[in-house]
Amino acid sequence: MTDANRKETILVVDDVANTTEVLQRNLTAKGYEVFTAPGVAEALIVIQTTPIDLVITDLKMPKVNGLDLVRHVRDNFKDTEVIMITGYPSIEGAVEAIKIGAQEYLPKPFTDEELFSAVRRALERLHARRAGQASISPPSRALHGLIGESKPMQEVFKAISKAASASATVLISGESGTGKELVARAIHYNSPRASAAFVPVNCGGIPEGLLESELFGYVKGAFTGADESRAGFFQTADGGTIFLDEISETTLNMQVKLLRVLQDREVCMVGANRGRQMDVRVLASTNKSLPDLVAKGLFREDLFFRLNILTIELPTLRQRGDDILLLIHHFAAKYAKESGRPPLRFSDEALGVLKTGYRWPGNVRELENVIHRLVVMTESDYIEVPDLPVPFRFSAVGGTDLTRSLAEAEAEYIRGVLASVGGNKTQAAKVLQIDRKTLREKLAKAENQSNP
């Protein structure tokens, strides 16, 4: 991978001096480092002695033409992109240029914006390819399953390091599927408590009537069916860490009891007369805004303040840039190994759709599910846009239609999420952060709109 601190380099090859001067001036103004050459022979000297990210070459030049240069770059410099420009555009020339590896073809005259757009597309393909190659050895970018090189994830890694060395309560927030439990595990296993238990508890997955006894345990005879005493999650985590996942799903009554544990570091089993001191570090997560819930009277303000000592906000997948590409190749290699097949390879167009053509409402969890499905269901090892699930294929050509009503846009979005999870309404409702009843109502409304 290239040094992230150096400028991206472009070589402009054209026998017309005015053309090379204009392109050099305009591209330099955009922050690129630009080299020029009046012909193929001079270009070869530059590209063999200087790392070049992108070659922009004219088609027709004296002695050796641009097609020969494109062919040479493709055969010998796999880490370089090519754009072909020409003042004599023809379908045959475009087809030949693209066939041998020039994925951008610009007929003269072209506007500055057309040039800049082509350069951006070419360099994005280069970044995607490099990210895929780099993902073969991810340890320097991975922390207990968290993978990322983007600035937002580097901030998360720094926060994990600071939280691991402290003993205070940590509140981890972020959308569903962003990796909150992975962050909690990373904090625990990099802390002095790493040799003790890490106990994750899904607060939203345990019925309200059972949550207290599951968390704090119960003594024999505490209620019907309590034939013996049983320790709870807090007792299991003694000396280690308990992770209260989706703590926003707890009732106000349970929040009072959790507040008492955080204040007194004492756990009282259901049916017991007195509590017992516990040495447990508490980590909690939420995919909702706790301040908003506090304002609505749905979450205790004093518990929020107790939890909100150290905070880690996880970025959404759509905020993480090229991390999407790292994750794609990581999951493709992981599930290919499990399935005993070669790792999938992705076309530049498919990677572009996965990176920028979809909003990933389910974040990293949804991305992992999509890649797993591709590994299992596709016969070819080379993934192109038609191989992607339906919502992604639509994203490749759909764009944003600003003439639609809000109801139409919502209906299309819901259908897309439903398709991305294979029609599983429970999973779709979780991604959309609504309940199944609301999802059914919205689907019925969308059906009525499409069939008046």
* Residues 275-319: tens digit of each pLDDT: 788 899 999 999 999 999 999 999 999 999 999 999 999 999 999
Q: How far, in Å, CA of 269 to CA of 151, rounded?
A: 44
Instruction: Measure Cα distances from 421 to 246, 258, 267, 372 in Å.
Output: 21, 35, 40, 12
The pLDDT value recorded for residue 138 is 43
Q: Is the pLDDT assigned to residue 89 strictly greater than 80?
A: no
Q: Dihedrals φ, ψ of 232, to 5°? A: -100, -175
Mean pLDDT of the residues in the chain: 83
- Provide mean pLDDT across the span 200-227: 85
* Domain architecture of the chain: domains with CATH: 9-134 (3.40.50.2300), 151-313 (3.40.50.300), 318-450 (1.10.8.60)
Q: What percent of the chain has pLDDT over 90?
A: 40
Q: How far, in Å, CA of 433 to CA of 450, rounded?
A: 24
Helices and strands per DSSP (H, E), number in the chain: 19, 16
- In the structure, what pLDDT confidence band is assigned to residue 1 with cuts at 50, 70 and 90? very low
Q: Is the pLDDT assigned to residue 273 strictly greater than 90?
A: no
Alpha helices (H) along 225-382: 233-236, 252-264, 290-295, 301-307, 323-339, 348-356, 363-377
- In the structure, what pLDDT confidence band is assigned to residue 364 with cuts at 50, 70 and 90? very high
Q: How far, in Å, CA of 374 to CA of 390, rounded?
A: 12
Per the CB < 8 A criterion, the answer to whether 260 and 310 are in contact is: no
The predicted-structure confidence for 157-196, as pLDDT tens digits, reads as follows 999 999 999 999 999 999 999 999 999 999 999 999 999 9
Which comes out higher in pLDDT, residue 45 or 245? 245
Q: What percent of the chain has pLDDT over 70?
A: 85
Q: Is the pLDDT assigned to residue 433 strictly greater than 70?
A: yes
- In the structure, what pLDDT confidence band is assigned to residue 100 with cuts at 50, 70 and 90? low
- Provide mean pLDDT across the span 243-253: 94
Residue 122 sits at the vertex; the CA angle it makes with 151 and 14, to the nearest 5 degrees, is 130
- In the structure, what pLDDT confidence band is assigned to residue 414 with cuts at 50, 70 and 90? confident
Q: Is the pLDDT assigned to residue 434 strictly greater than 70?
A: yes
Q: Strands of 281-286's sheet, edge to edge?
A: 198-202, 241-245, 281-286, 170-173, 310-313
The pLDDT value recorded for residue 317 is 94
The pLDDT value recorded for residue 77 is 80
Q: How far, in Å, CA of 107 to CA of 387, rounded?
A: 31
- In the structure, what pLDDT confidence band is assigned to residue 2 with cuts at 50, 70 and 90? very low
Q: How far, in Å, CA of 6 to CA of 120, rounded?
A: 17
Q: Which class for 384: exposed (0-12), middle (13-18), buried (19 or more C-beta within 10 A)?
A: middle
The pLDDT value recorded for residue 103 is 64
Q: Name the CA radius of gyration of the chain, rounded.
A: 28
Name every residue whose Cβ is closer than 8 Å to that of residue 137 and which is 6 or more positions away in sequence: none
Which comes out higher in pLDDT, residue 24 or 128? 24
Which comes out higher in pLDDT, residue 277 or 408? 277
Query: Quick one: which of 215, 196, 216, 197 has its CA closest to 205?
Result: 215
Which comes out higher in pLDDT, residue 426 or 105? 426
Q: Dihedrals φ, ψ of 386, to 5°? A: -60, -20
Highest-confidence segment of 184-188, 201-205, 318-322, 403-407? 184-188
Q: How far, in Å, CA of 241 to CA of 280, rounded?
A: 6
For residue 34, list its beta bridge partners: 10
How many CB atoms neighbour CB 376 within 10 A? 11
How many CB atoms neighbour CB 93 within 10 A? 18
The pLDDT value recorded for residue 197 is 94
The pLDDT value recorded for residue 101 is 52
- Provide mean pLDDT across the span 369-396: 83
Query: Quick one: which of 319, 346, 313, 320 has its CA closest to 331?
Result: 346
